[in-house]
Structure 1
Amino acid sequence: MDILRFIEDIKAHLKLTFDNVDGWFQKDKKTLNHQPSNGGWTIQQILEHIYLTNFYLLILIEKGSKKAMKNSLDLDLESEIKNYSFNKENFDKVGEHGAFEWIRPEHMEPKGELSLDEIRSLINQQYLQCVHYLEVMKNGEGLLYKTTMTVNDLGKINVYEYIYFLSLHARRHITQMQQNESEMIKN
């Protein structure tokens, strides 16, 4: 496994995804507040949900990165890198809206308590946090700690995979926002 390439690929995915999410904050109020006919969330609610989900995932990512760095003092990083293979297919479904049933916890549901500017600022900070963790674990250390991810039965995933998951989750909702906008334009 070329771990440096893997980390760079995650950084590129994050940048592309977060740039795309940021573009949604530029939409007009009508687009942002369009209630889809299926009763789903508005784009503004989806943006808040992305922030909330990132918030909770980043708690786990922060803990994981600290434990991974601590583990790098005692574990054989070279062996871990050599034996690691990334199962991209398992993760790709996470980024597809509607690919599987996803029951989110109530604390990740939008409450409308934050302004659009606050959400945008917080999401931008979250992007920088992700990049920071990738910089801290720049030599492959993120492989040295795993946490269970129940979504789509991913099982135990390492810190890099958690960051990739966070990016895929946002990508999933970009599709949802595109669907909302398309429906609004048609009506």
Structure 2
Amino acid sequence: MDIFRLIQDIKTHLKLSFDEVDRWFGKDEKILNDLPANGGWTIQQILEHIYLTNFYLLILIEKGYKKGVRNYLELDLNSEIKNYSFDNERFEKVGEYGAFEWIRPEHMEPKGELNLSEIRSLVAQQYQQCLGYLDLMKNGEGLLCKTTMTVNELGKINVYEYIYFLSLHTQRHLTQMKNNESETIKN
């Protein structure tokens, strides 16, 4: 496995996802706050949910990073890199809106406590955090810690895969926001 290629691919995916999210903050007030007919979240609520989910995923990513660095002293990184293969198919459904039922924890539901500019600033900081972890784990250290991910039965995933999951989760909600916008424009 070319770990450097994997890291670059994740960085590229993050940039595309976060750049697209950032564009939503400049949308018209009506588009941002129109309730969809299905009773789902407004676009502003979705943006807050993305921030909240990233917040909690980044806690796990930080713990995984720290454990991976500790494991560096005990595990054979070269062997881990050699034996690792990224299974993209396992993750693809995560980025598809509506591909499977997703019951999120209550603490990841938007509460409306942050204004749009605060959410935008926090999401931009989260993007930088992701890039920072990838830079800190530039030699493959992210393979040295695995944590269970219950969403879509992914099972044990490494720190790089957690960061990719975060980006895919964002992508999932980009589709939802596009659907909301289309409905608002039609009405």
Q: Provide the rounded CA distance (Å) in 1 between the counterparts of 2:138 and 2:69.
A: 10
Query: How do 1:104-183 and structure 2 match up within 5 A?
Result: 104-183=104-183
Q: Provide the rounded CA distance (Å) in 2 between the counterparts of 1:69 and 1:164.
A: 19
Amino acid corresponding to residue 45 of structure 1 in structure 2: Q
Amino acid corresponding to residue 180 of structure 1 in structure 2: N
1:23-62 Cα shifts (integer Å, max 9, x gaps): 0000010000010000000000000000000000000000
Query: How do 1:45-84 and structure 2 match up within 5 A?
Result: 45-84=45-84
For normalisation by structure 2, the TM-score amounts to 0.99
1:136-165 Cα shifts (integer Å, max 9, x gaps): 000011000000000000000000000000
* SS of structure 1 residue aligned to 2:163: helix
* Distance apart, 1:89 and its partner CA: 0.5
Q: Provide the rounded CA distance (Å) in 2 between the counterparts of 1:126 and 1:169.
A: 14
Q: Provide the rounded CA distance (Å) in 2 between the counterparts of 1:145 and 1:103.
A: 25
Q: Provide the rounded CA distance (Å) in 2 between the counterparts of 1:32 and 1:106.
A: 22
* Distance apart, 1:70 and its partner CA: 1.2
* SS of structure 2 residue aligned to 1:12: helix
2:41 matches 1:13: no
* SS of structure 1 residue aligned to 2:148: strand
For normalisation by structure 1, the TM-score amounts to 0.99
* Distance apart, 1:69 and its partner CA: 1.0
* SS of structure 2 residue aligned to 1:147: strand
**Aligned positions, number:** 187
Which structure 2 segments of 5+ residues have no match?
none
Amino acid corresponding to residue 142 of structure 1 in structure 2: G
Which structure 1 segments of 5+ residues have no match?
none
* Distance apart, 1:84 and its partner CA: 0.3
**Identity over aligned pairs, percent:** 78
Q: Provide the rounded CA distance (Å) in 2 between the counterparts of 1:141 and 1:168.
A: 21
Q: Provide the rounded CA distance (Å) in 1 between the counterparts of 2:52 and 2:36.
A: 21
After the TM superposition, which segments of 4 or more aligned residues of structure 1 sit over 2 Å from their partners? none
* SS of structure 2 residue aligned to 1:23: helix
In structure 2, the residue matched to 1:86 is: 86
* Distance apart, 1:73 and its partner CA: 1.7
* Distance apart, 1:177 and its partner CA: 0.1
Amino acid corresponding to residue 64 of structure 1 in structure 2: G
1:99-134 Cα shifts (integer Å, max 9, x gaps): 000000000000000000000000000000000000
CA RMSD, 1 decimal: 0.4
